Structure 1
Amino acid sequence: MDILLALALGLGLWQGLVILTDAPHFILPSPLRVAQAMWNSRVIIAENALVTASEVALGLLFGSLLGVATAIQLALSRTAERIMLPILVFTQAVPVFALAPVLTLWFGYGMGSKIVMAVLIIYFPVTSAFHDGLTRIDQGYRDLAQSMGAGKYQFLRQIQIPNALPSLGTGLKLAAVYAPIGAVIGEWVGASKGLGYLMLLANGRAKIDLMFASLIVLACLTVMLHISVGLLATRLSRYAGGGGALRPV
Structure 2
Amino acid sequence: MPRLIRTARPFILLVGLLALWWLAALLIEALTGKGRFLLPTPDLVWAAFIENPTYFLKGFRVTLVEVVVGLMLGAWLGLCLTVVIAVSKIVRFWLLPLLVISQAIPVFALAPLLVQWLGWGLAPKIAMTTLILFFPVTMAFWSALRAVDRDLVDAGRVYGAERWQLLWRVYLPLALPGGLNGLKAAAAIAPIGAFIGELVGGQQVGGAYGLGYVILRELKINARTDTMMVAVVCMVILALGLYGLVSLIAARAASWSEIDLKSLEN
Letter in 2 for 1:101: P
Corresponding residue for 2:213?
A: 197
Assess if the C-alpha contact under 8 Å between 1:187 and 1:194 holds in 2.
yes
Letter in 1 for 2:243: H
Q: How many pairs are equivalent?
A: 249
Q: What is the CA–CA distance in structure 1 between the aligned matches of 2:21 and 2:148, rounded to whole Å?
A: 48
> Is 2:157 the partner of 1:150?
no
Q: What is the CA–CA distance in structure 2 between the aligned matches of 1:42 and 1:131, rounded to whole Å?
A: 43
Residue among 59, 66, 76 paired with 2:70: 59
Moved more, 183-192 or 1-10: 1-10
Residues 75-94 of structure 1 show CA distances to partners (whole Å, capped at 9, x for unaligned) of 11122111211111121111
- Aligned-partner SS, 1:226: helix
Q: What is the CA–CA distance in structure 2 between the aligned matches of 1:202 and 1:142, rounded to whole Å?
A: 56
Corresponding residue for 2:225?
A: 208
> Is 2:19 the partner of 1:8?
no
Corresponding residue for 2:188?
A: 177
> Is 2:250 the partner of 1:243?
no
Corresponding residue for 2:86?
A: 75
Q: What is the CA–CA distance in structure 1 between the aligned matches of 2:122 and 2:185, rounded to whole Å?
A: 22
Corresponding residue for 2:171?
A: 160
Assess if the C-alpha contact under 8 Å between 2:156 and 2:264 holds in 1.
no
Residues 140-163 of structure 1 show CA distances to partners (whole Å, capped at 9, x for unaligned) of 123223323321101101110111
Assess if the C-alpha contact under 8 Å between 2:75 and 2:137 holds in 1.
yes
Q: What is the CA–CA distance in structure 2 between the aligned matches of 1:187 and 1:161, rounded to whole Å?
A: 35
C-alpha root-mean-square deviation of aligned residues, in Å?
Answer: 1.5
Corresponding residue for 1:140?
A: 151
Corresponding residue for 1:39?
A: 50
Letter in 2 for 1:233: A
Assess if the C-alpha contact under 8 Å between 1:140 and 1:248 holds in 2.
no
Assess if the C-alpha contact under 8 Å between 1:158 and 1:246 holds in 2.
no
Assess if the C-alpha contact under 8 Å between 2:28 and 2:39 holds in 1.
no
Deviation at 1:112, TM superposition (A): 0.4
Residues 148-187 of structure 1 show CA distances to partners (whole Å, capped at 9, x for unaligned) of 3321101101110111011111121011012111001110
Corresponding residue for 1:223?
A: 240
Q: What is the CA–CA distance in structure 2 between the aligned matches of 1:152 and 1:44, rounded to whole Å?
A: 53
Corresponding residue for 2:250?
A: 233
Deviation at 1:19, TM superposition (A): 1.9
Deviation at 1:101, TM superposition (A): 1.6
Q: What is the CA–CA distance in structure 2 between the aligned matches of 1:226 and 1:137, rounded to whole Å?
A: 25
Assess if the C-alpha contact under 8 Å between 1:162 and 1:245 holds in 2.
no
Residues 33-59 of structure 1 show CA distances to partners (whole Å, capped at 9, x for unaligned) of 111001112010001110000000100
TM-score, normalisation: structure 2: 0.89
Q: What is the CA–CA distance in structure 1 between the aligned matches of 2:153 and 2:47, rounded to whole Å?
A: 61
- Aligned-partner SS, 1:242: helix
Deviation at 1:246, TM superposition (A): 5.8
Corresponding residue for 2:199?
A: 188
Deviation at 1:111, TM superposition (A): 0.7
Deviation at 1:137, TM superposition (A): 2.4
Assess if the C-alpha contact under 8 Å between 1:67 and 1:126 holds in 2.
yes
Q: What is the CA–CA distance in structure 2 between the aligned matches of 1:246 and 1:133, rounded to whole Å?
A: 21
Letter in 2 for 1:20: L
Residue among 111, 117, 122 paired with 2:128: 117
